[in-house]
Amino acid sequence: MLIKESEVLMNENKKYYSPALMTAFILMATLMVIQTAFSLPVQAQQIKVMVNGKTLKEAKAIMINGRVLVPSRAVVEALDAKVAWNNQTKTATVKRDKTSLEITVNRQAAYLNDKSITLDVPAKLINNKLYLPLRLVSESLQAKIKWEAKDSLVTIFDNYCPWCIPLS
């Protein structure tokens, strides 16, 4: 039986094409894309936030580079403050009485009463929600923070009382 030259070339080309090899390649490429897309932020456990003993269910906190960021409104309003958003400059302004904190998305500096503060992790826009560094916001409003790593729990204690007169 004679084998034609075209059949030999066709058989040689087939040995380099394997459906299993192609499937493995596609699977690896897909996993790489998924890992890249979801690399910010990755959490093993959900971080819980409590303000003055009340759990904030709407505060879906995240951790980036060891810093907890929270959706701006949930925590700011729980601390009896207001947040304003400037979409043009991507800047949030948190205010309570004479305290004013300005923080811009993806900038390493914030301004507390016009004084510059360097940030470890800047504010982020994630799924069209503004996430602010929790410690920065809370401490700027004179609240105390406690982090419990084993429970992934942030507890904020705020002794703010606008009608109280300081005793000191």
Q: What is the pLDDT of residues 28-69, one digit of tens each?
A: 666 565 554 444 443 446 899 999 888 888 778 899 998 999
Q: Sign of torsion, CA 130 133 136 142? A: positive
Does 64 map to a domain?
Answer: yes
Read off the pLDDT of each residue in 114-126 and give the average, rounded to a whole number: 93
Neighbours of 49 (CB within 10 A): 25
Q: Are residues 15 and 52 in the same domain?
A: no
Give the tokens for residue 167: 């005793």
Range(s) of the domain holding residue 23: 5-37
Q: What is the pLDDT of residue 104?
A: 96
CATH of the domain at 105: 3.30.457.10
Measured distance between the N- and C-terminal CA atoms of the chain, rounded to whole angstroms: 108
Side-by-side strand order, sheet with 82-86: 82-86, 91-96, 99-104, 109-112, 115-118
Give the tokens for residue 3: 């084998």
Q: Residue 112: is its pLDDT beyond 80?
A: yes
Q: How far apart are CA 145 and CA 134, in angstroms?
A: 9
Q: Are residues 25 and 77 in the same domain?
A: no
Q: Residue 133: is its pLDDT beyond 80?
A: yes
Q: Residue 116: is its pLDDT beyond 80?
A: yes
Ramachandran sector of residue 66 (left: φ over 0; alpha: ψ -120 to 50; beta: rest): left
Q: Residue 117: is its pLDDT beyond 90?
A: yes
Does 76 map to a domain?
Answer: yes
Q: Are residues 67 and 89 in the same domain?
A: yes
- Predicted TM-score (pTM) of the model is 0.66
Residue ranges in 79-166 assigned as alpha helix (H): 134-140
Q: Are 114 and 78 in contact (CB under 8 A)?
A: no
Local structure of 14: helix, strand or coil: helix
Name the more confident of 70 and 1.
70
Q: Are residues 54 and 19 in the same domain?
A: no
Q: What is the pLDDT of residue 84?
A: 95
Q: Are residues 111 and 152 in the same domain?
A: yes
Q: Are residues 109 and 132 in the same domain?
A: yes
Read off the pLDDT of each residue in 10-30 and give the average, rounded to a whole number: 61
Give the tokens for residue 64: 């980036």
Q: Which tens digits make up the pLDDT trace of 58-100?
A: 778 899 998 999 988 888 999 999 999 999 999 999 999 999 9
